[in-house]
Each structure stands twice: as C-alpha cells, then as structure tokens.
C-alpha cells in the first residue's frame, strides 16, 4: 500500500463552500460539529441538500434536523489522476443520501454498503466540511 | 398543428417583494411557482413541464426542477432575454396541444438590487444553483460522477469492467471505417482493461474523446420535405426527461432514459425490438449500458451481458450502435455529443452510412442523448425516426 493512496486530501485541497442565506444555518452547524438535514413538518420527509421548500410536498414548513452522523456508502470512486481522493454518496441513518469524500482510510479497502461516520474538517473560512470515515 | 384554443393559462402570481435580501434566486423561483400553483388550485406534483430562461441558476432548468422536486416530461430553457417568458407561453401551448404535457410551469425570478447591495457579482444565470455549495467542496468531476454510477451498477447487478469494455470495442470496430474519426485503431477488451484507471472503475478507454467541431440539423414541414430530392425522414416519436437527486432519495441505477424512452416509444407506436439501429450517447461506456437498459433493449441489470461479445457491432450483433465510432472513438464536439447521435441515425435510415457499417433494410432508428452528469443531475432525450418513402 503506497502512502499516496492512504493519505487524506492535503490541506491545500480543502475547498470552502459557497454559502448563501438559505444554506448558512447548515454551514454554521458544521463549525459546531453538527450535521443537519431538513425535515418537513407537513409530510414528515427528510431531504438533502437542504432547502426552504420540501421537494416532496412543496410545503415551506421545513425545519432543521440534527443527524447522528452515521451512514453507509451508497457508491464511491477513487479518482487516480493527481493525488488520489475518494468521492462518495453516503446514505445517512436519517434517510437522505449526500455527496461527500471518504478520508483517513485505505482507499483499496472501501466497499459499497460499508458503515461510515461523519468527520468534520475546518475550512478556515467559517465552515467545516462533512467528510466521512469508516466506522 | 395550430395551438388555437388548445391551451389555457390557469394560474398567475407576481412576487410582492421588490428587494430580495435574505432570499436566494432558486428560493424566489420556488416562491413564485408556489404562488401560481395556489392561484390555479394545483399541486406542484401536477406539473409535468417547466419553462425558464437565463435567470435560473444551473444547467438549463434542471437544477431548479431539482430544487422544487419536479418530475417532468418537458423542459425548455430557451433564452431570448426579457421576451423569453412570452415565448415560453407559446412553447408550452405547442407542447400541450401536441399532448406532450398537461401542466406547464413558467418562472422568472432574480435579485439584482439585493445582489448590488451585497456585492454579489452580477452575471447571467443568476448566481450559483442551490446544490453547488453542497457539492463543489467534494470535487465532483465529469469522470467520477459517471464512475460512481458504474460502481453501483457493478454492486447491484454484477456488471464487470470487461463487459463495459465491449462498448468501446464495438465503437472502435466502427470507427476504423470513418476517415474523420479521431481514434481509428481497433481495440480489444484487454486494451481497455490495461489502460490507466482515471476514476475507478473507469479506465481511460472507457471515456469518450474530446474534439472541436460540431454539427447541424434542418427540420422542415411535410410539404417542403416532399418538394426536396432527399429521403423523407420522419420523426415518429420523441421524449425528454430531466433526472436529479430527488431530495436525497438517490438511485443511480437508472437514467432519465427510462422516461424519455417510454414516451418516445409510446408516441411512435413501436417497441425496442423493432429498432434496426440505435445511436446511444456514449460519454462513457457505462452511459451506454445504463441507457440500453432504460430504453428497454434489455432488462434492468442485464446491460453488461447485452453489450458483451460484440452485440453492438454492425454485421455481428443484434443491435448495431454508433456506427460512426460514437463519442468513444469518433467525435464529441464541444463536449456535447447529442447532435452527432442524430446525424448518424439519419445516415443509417437514409442508407447513407459507410457501406462497411450500413445496417441492411434500416427503416427504423433511434437516437438518444444524455446531458450533464449521470451521477447527479442530467437531461435525457430520445427520438425515433423512420423513412417515409422507403
């Protein structure tokens, strides 16, 4: 196992998200180590990416829901050009599936269906990225 | 067909805000949509067609359709400046008159005053779509957003890299006869598997070429077609369907072709087994496998077995595809392969393809386009053509 395939993406590759009025509560929560999705009080569905309107029933009676941070890998791919990194969709215990990166792991031992948990990495710009690690 | 008396305006809404501080552009589009729906007494799930212009952020209207959770049979983001929305009324009327949709939504929204106060850059497209902030930090690329589809397909259905490689092999068999093809060398399954992994499980030879150039199509009325000395190629049926991440209920095992194909086949009154030749968008080998399943050429999950052993090679297999060499070997101009898909399908149904790849008695053909990212949000369009004077 080469070093290059096991390392976390280097600090220089941390990209701060573009934040707007609708997404600000989500990103502020990340700095407290909390992963939020939106919950619709009208139809009961959770959704991601979070928005003002429920994409299932179109009610605007949505509220923030704090997640456990646990999920499973729905799919992933290790991009090998340049320094390798693993992009993935993780299905949260609360239902929605989100785009993320898998870090601090042996990329050759990842598997669809594997259990993962959130790990926040500070961007230095008032937000933290919700990455996932095995476990 | 005239639209006279065949479409009605049922709901309207003008946003009461005059300064949109604290609201995003996608949010404003959704607010006006909700207002018009309430005026009409309809629910957003009644909407099956969406019309918008350059003020909506993202790829045409697809990101906004995703934001609002729309499931569509018709999407149109024709941009003609401030006149766009009047033009959209006409386009929607045409679609309704043709029976292609029943409830069309048209939106306009923006926040130039708030943007100016908050020093947001003013640019066409109205800023970033709502999904952007939640995805860009994780470095999605064109390749890895298709690679994740391939990975899931392999997990659920046992599809193999060797099966995917057969798509490239078939394209290369065709490209050898096309003097304009960028890549004319015939390749083997082993060549594909031995090429470098770009984003696993996709290898370099699973990916299409990058080329400059382009293409064009002329469509005419029946009376003009009859006056010309060219084969009369008819559009028998067509379908379109955007697909997105559906609020986090993600299923990457299928594409919008599931819906656009069904509409096209129903309108044409034919079935997949009737098709003599198919142009299938081949940005990547996995794109072809998923699309063939969704169009009904084989069962879901059986696409890997379907494309294997030369089944897509003209003169060899049951479904000749991309006889120009496709995007994988011939051409993918401006990173958009849709027009070359239609062009080769027309060559085939005219009987004007290269003799080495021309399908005999080719009287019914299909062309399918895939836009955007199969791993997140995409557009699908299917057309079925025949030759009237054959």
pLDDT in tens, B280-302: 999 999 999 999 999 999 999 99
Does B141 sit within 8 Å of A79, measured CB to CB? yes
The average confidence (pLDDT) of chain B is 93
Q: How far, in Å, CA of B112 to CA of B46, rounded?
A: 31
* Across A107-129, average pLDDT: 97
Tell whether the model's pLDDT for residue B165 goes beyond 90.
yes
Beta carbons of B108 and B53 less than 8 angstroms apart = yes
Which residues in chain B have their CB less than 8 angstroms from residue A100's CB?
A: 138
Residue B221 confidence class, pLDDT cut points 50, 70, 90: confident
Distance from CA of A107 to the nearest CA of B (A): 11
Nearest CA in chain A to B136: A17
Q: What is the mean pLDDT of chain A?
A: 91
CA B106 to chain CA centroid, nearest Å: 21
Return the SS3 of B8.
coil
pLDDT value of position B114: 85
| DSSP-assigned beta bridge partners for residue A71 | A92, A116
Residue of chain A whose Cα is closest to the Cα of B153: A75
Answer yes or no: do B152 and A48 touch at CB < 8 A: no
B178-203 mean pLDDT: 97
- Inter-chain touch A47–B67, beta carbons under 8 Å: no
Residue A1: the pLDDT is 33
CA B286 to chain A, closest CA, distance in angstroms equals 14
Q: Which of B130, B137, B200 sits opposite A77 (nearest CB)?
A: B200
**Structure-token pair, residue A39:** 């919950």
Q: Is A65 on the interface with B (CB under 8 A)?
A: no
Torsion, Cα B61 B22 A97 A133, to 10 degrees, reads 130
Residue B44 at interface with chain A, using a CB cutoff of 8 Å: yes
| Crossing angle of the two packed helices B257-268 and B285-295, in degrees rounded to 10 | 50
User: CB–CB of B144 and A58 under 8 A?
Assistant: no
Interchain contact, B247 vs A45, CB within 8 Å: yes
Taking residues A38-61, what's their average pLDDT? 97
B-chain CB neighbours of A14 within 8 Å are 137
A20, A45, A77 ranked by CB distance to B199: nearest = A77
Residues within 8 A of B (CB atoms), A 19-58 only: 19-23, 26-27, 37, 45-56, 58
Cα dihedral: B303, B309, B310, B316 (round 10): -120
* Min Cα separation A131/chain B (Å): 8
Under a CB-based contact definition with an 8 Å cutoff, are residues B313 and B323 in contact? no
Report the run of H or E that residue B111 belongs to, with start and end.
none
CB A40 within 8 A of CB A69: no
User: Quick check: B175 pLDDT over 90?
Assistant: yes
Least-confidence region, from A2-6, A62-66, B5-9: A2-6
Looking at residue B2, its pLDDT comes to: 82
The phi and psi torsions of B146 (rounded to 5 degrees) equal -95, -35
Average pLDDT estimate for A19-37: 96
> Are B136 and A51 an interchain contact pair (Cβ–Cβ within 8 Å)?
no
Task: Specify the pLDDT at position A56.
Answer: 98
- B199's CB contacts (< 8 A; 6+ apart) are A77, A78, A79, A80, A81, B141, B143, B144, B147
Question: Distance from B142 to chain A by nearest Cα, in Å?
Answer: 11
Cα(A107)–Cα(A104) distance, rounded to whole angstroms? 9
3-state percent breakdown (helix, strand, coil) of chain B, nearest 5: 40, 15, 45
Residue A42, classed as helix, strand or coil, is coil
Give pLDDT, residue B119.
65
Q: Which of B133, B196, B245 sits opposite A20 (nearest CB)?
A: B133
R_g of chain B computed on alpha carbons: 22
Cis before residue A90, ω within 30 degrees of 0? no
User: Residue A1 class from Cβ within 10 Å (0-12 exposed, 13-18 middle, 19+ buried)?
Assistant: exposed
Residues of A in contact with B24 (CB under 8 A): 20-22
Burial of B68 (0-12, 13-18, 19+ CB in 10 A): buried
- Interface residue B162 vs chain A (CB under 8 A): no
Q: Mean pLDDT across the stretch B132-160?
A: 97
Confidence label for B121 from pLDDT (cuts 50, 70 and 90): low
Higher pLDDT, B65 or A13: B65
Interstrand relation of B364-372 and B277-280 (parallel, antiparallel or unpaired): parallel
> Residues B77, B64: contact at Cβ < 8 Å?
no
For B49-63, the pLDDT digits (tens) are: 999 998 899 999 999
A52 chain-B contacts, CB cut-off 8 A: 27, 30
Say how far apart CA B69 and CA B45 lie, in whole Å. 8
Judging contacts by C-beta atoms under 8 Å, the chain B residues touching residue A28 are none
Q: Is the pLDDT of residue B82 over 90?
A: no
Q: What is the pLDDT of residue B123?
A: 46
Using a CB–CB cutoff of 8 Å, tell me whether B107 touches chain A.
no
**What is the number of CB-based contacts under 8 A between chain A and chain B?**
154
Structure tokens belonging to residue A42 = 């009208």
A98 touching B (Cβ < 8 Å): yes
Chain A residues closer than 8 Å to B44 by CB: 58
- pLDDT at residue A3 is higher than 80: no
B41 part of contact set with chain A, CB < 8 Å: no
Contacts of A65 in chain B (CB under 8 A): none
The whole-number pLDDT of residue A12 equals 56
**Chain-centroid distance, C-alpha B55:** 22
Nearest CA in chain B to A84: B199
Q: Does B135 touch chain A (CB under 8 A)?
A: yes
Which of B210, B163, B92, B193 has its CA nearest to residue B312?
A: B163
Which chain B residue lies closest to A111 (C-alpha atoms)?
A: B155
Q: Which residues does residue B50 pair with via DSSP β-bridges, in sequence order?
A: B75, B105
Q: Record the tokens describing residue A63, joined without a space.
A: 């509220």
Q: Which residues of A touch B139 (CB under 8 A)?
A: 13, 15, 79, 85, 87, 101
């Amino acid at each position: 196992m080469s070093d290059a395939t096991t390392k976390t993406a280097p600090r220089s590759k941390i990209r701060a998200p573009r934040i707007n009025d609708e997404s600000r509560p989500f990103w502020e929560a990340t700095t407290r180590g909390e992963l939020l999705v939106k919950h619709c009080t009208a139809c009961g569905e959770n959704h991601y990416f979070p928005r003002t309107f429920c994409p299932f029933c179109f009610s605007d009676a949505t509220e923030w829901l704090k997640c456990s941070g646990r999920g499973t890998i729905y799919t992933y791919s290790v991009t090998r050009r340049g320094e390798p990194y693993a992009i993935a969709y993780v299905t949260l215990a609360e239902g929605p599936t989100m785009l993320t990166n898998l870090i601090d792991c042996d990329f050759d031992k990842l598997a669809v269906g594997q259990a993962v948990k959130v790990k926040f990495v500070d961007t230095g710009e008032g937000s933290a990225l919700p990455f996932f690690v095995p476990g | 067909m005239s639209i006279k008396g065949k479409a009605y305006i049922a709901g309207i809404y003008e946003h009461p805000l005059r300064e949109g501080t604290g609201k995003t552009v996608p949010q404003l589009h959704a607010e006006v949509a909700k207002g018009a729906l309430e005026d009409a007494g309809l629910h957003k799930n009644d909407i099956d067609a969406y019309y918008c212009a350059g003020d909506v952020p993202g790829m045409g209207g697809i990101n906004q359709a995703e934001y609002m959770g729309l499931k569509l049979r018709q999407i149109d983001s024709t941009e003609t400046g401030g006149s766009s929305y009047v033009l959209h009324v006409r386009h929607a009327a045409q679609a309704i008159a043709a029976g292609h949709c029943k409830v069309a939504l048209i939106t306009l929204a923006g926040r130039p005053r708030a943007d100016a106060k908050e020093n947001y850059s003013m640019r066409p497209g109205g800023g970033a779509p709502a999904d952007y902030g939640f995805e860009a930090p994780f470095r999605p690329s064109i390749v890895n957003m298709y690679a994740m589809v391939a990975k899931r397909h392999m997990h659920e259905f046992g599809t193999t890299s060797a099966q995917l490689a057969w798509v490239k092999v078939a394209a290369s068999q065709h490209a050898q006869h096309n003097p304009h093809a960028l890549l004319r060398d015939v390749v083997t399954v082993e060549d594909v598997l031995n090429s470098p992994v770009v984003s696993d499980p996709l290898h370099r030879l699973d990916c299409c070429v990058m080329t400059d150039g382009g293409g064009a199509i002329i469509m005419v009325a029946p009376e003009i077609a009859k006056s010309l000395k060219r084969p009369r190629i008819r559009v028998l049926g067509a379908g379109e369907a955007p697909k997105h991440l559906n609020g986090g209920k993600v299923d990457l095992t299928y594409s919008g072709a599931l819906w656009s194909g069904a509409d096209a086949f129903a309108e044409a009154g034919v079935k997949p087994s009737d098709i003599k030749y198919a142009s299938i968008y081949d940005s990547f080998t996995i794109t072809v496998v998923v699309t063939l399943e969704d169009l009904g050429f084989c069962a879901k999950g059986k696409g890997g077995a379907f494309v294997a052993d030369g089944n897509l090679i003209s003169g060899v297999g049951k479904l000749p595809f991309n006889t120009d060499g496709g995007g994988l070997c011939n051409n993918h101009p401006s990173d958009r392969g849709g027009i070359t898909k239609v062009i080769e399908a027309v060559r085939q149904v005219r009987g004007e393809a290269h003799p080495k790849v021309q399908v005999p008695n080719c009287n019914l053909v299909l062309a399918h386009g895939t836009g955007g990212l199969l791993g997140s949000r995409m557009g699908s369009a299917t057309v079925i053509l025949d030759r009237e004077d054959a």
